Amino acid sequence: MHDAVWLNARIATLAGATFRDGALAVAGGRISWVGERCDWKESARTEHDARGAWILPAFVDCHTHLVYAGNRAHEFELRLKGASYEDIARAGGGILSTVRATREASEDALAAAAQRRLQRWIAEGATVVEVKSGYGLDRDTELKMLRAARRLTGVTVKTTFLGAHTLPEEYKGRADAYIDFVCDEVLPAAADEKLVDAVDVFCERIAFSRAQTARVFDCAQRLGLPVKLHADQLSDLGGAALAARHHALSADHLEYSSEQGVEALARSGSAAVLLPGAFYFLRETRLPPIAALRRNHVPMALATDHNPGSSPLSSPLLAMNMACTLFHLTPEEALAGFTVNAARALGMQATHGTLEVGKAADFALWEIDSPAELAYAIGAAPCVRRERAT
């Protein structure tokens, strides 16, 4: 006996099957049956009529900076007058201005603000959201951010430690000493409190070098934590190859990655996470190497990169539209980017991202004629229901 069955649904499993008149059953928080309705001969305690809606795997946003205080509308105004993102960062604004606000905020205030933002993801059918630290850059604030992230409700939260996001003012000119501090004190404390699912670094001219990144990764690996990387967003520092060398779950951004970087990702099995929100908001022009990613069969995930500086984007659906219009992804690739490949970028492919028997009963119902509509429409609200295994 199944707990519930959804009938009169069109279903795309994202694992290779589409059912035009489908049925999907759940039991004990997992998918227990999926197929054509005519083959459904079992019974369930509750029967739901999907009224012809499409059932798709729930969205997974695998890269966000959802927890922070304040906003950077003023920097947006400066950039509209001609300042660049890197100019603002070098002048002590940018990430550091959010660090000042976040250090001052209480854990309650951070959690409440992030919970309010999260409603948009829930309304668009997301059930898993990754949240990074990185606006503390000191021990207490990094821990405070991670604790705030772990308090969020309504989605499954995966927390990523990004203590090496940028150099805090008190370590000016002493980047290696800051990396020592991150590796010796902050990351071990966060791991000790079981607040860390993965470790990320911003490897960039305005942030940390390859060698500094490798030190953080070695430390993560000693603690048994998987790694991810902000790689090659604004310049080619060889970030993709470095991520691959450390068997990263994912390498993210990748606008400036080389063909060799992409080949390295293919060999390591890392996912590529594309972030069109930041590309759009910073008016970048260099496209990520989509053709090479396709040619090398690197799984392409998509994410909002929600953050107050480079991507104040709260809509997975809009990220899908941007990925198609700006990065030339197909709507099908964009959908895979927020489901099956996003789960992979978080190491959750065994439980999330597709509608297969045994996986979590996380799915969304969409009032659309075809899945391509999700990436096509701008500002629509087609999600009519979201189910999440708890």
If contact means CB under 5 to 8 A according to the sort of partner, which of ligand DI6, Fe ion, none does residue 10 touch? none
Token duo for residue 28: 């004990």
Side-by-side strand order, sheet with 228-231: 59-61, 126-132, 156-164, 198-203, 228-231, 250-253, 271-274, 300-302
At position 349, the amino acid (one-letter code) is Q
End-to-end CA distance of the chain: 19
Give me the least distance between CB of 18 and ligand DI6, in Å please: 35
- Residue 102 in contact with ligand DI6, rule: CB under 6 A: no
- Residue 310 in contact with ligand DI6, rule: CB under 6 A: yes
Helix (H) or strand (E) holding 234: none
Cβ closest to Fe ion, residue 57 vs residue 226: 226
Give me the least distance between CB of 361 and ligand DI6, in Å please: 33
- Residue 95 in contact with ligand DI6, rule: CB under 6 A: yes
- Residue 105 in contact with ligand DI6, rule: CB under 6 A: no
If contact means CB under 5 to 8 A according to the sort of partner, which of Fe ion, ligand DI6, none does residue 310 touch? ligand DI6
Q: How many residues sit close enough to ligand DI6 to count as binding (CB under 6 A)?
A: 14
Q: What whole-number distance in Å separates Cα of residue 295 and Cα of residue 301?
A: 15
The DSSP letter of residue 182 is I
3-state secondary structure of 186: helix
Token duo for residue 147: 């604790």
- Residue 64 in contact with ligand DI6, rule: CB under 6 A: no
- Residue 204 in contact with Fe ion, rule: CB under 5 A: no
Q: In which residue are the tokens 């659906």 written?
A: 317
Helix (H) or strand (E) holding 23: strand 18-27
Backbone angles phi, psi at 242, to 5 degrees: -65, -45
Give me the least distance between CB of 39 and ligand DI6, in Å please: 47
- Binding residues for Fe ion restricted to 303-332, rule: CB under 5 A: 305
Give me the least distance between CB of 248 and ligand DI6, in Å please: 15
- Residue 230 in contact with ligand DI6, rule: CB under 6 A: yes
Cβ closest to ligand DI6, residue 215 vs residue 253: 253
- Residue 133 in contact with ligand DI6, rule: CB under 6 A: no
Helix (H) or strand (E) holding 260: helix 259-268
Using CB under 5 A as the criterion, which residues of the chain lie in contact with Fe ion when the complex forms? 305
Using CB under 6 A as the criterion, which residues of the chain lie in contact with ligand DI6 when the complex forms? 65, 94-95, 98, 165, 202, 230, 233, 278, 305, 307-310
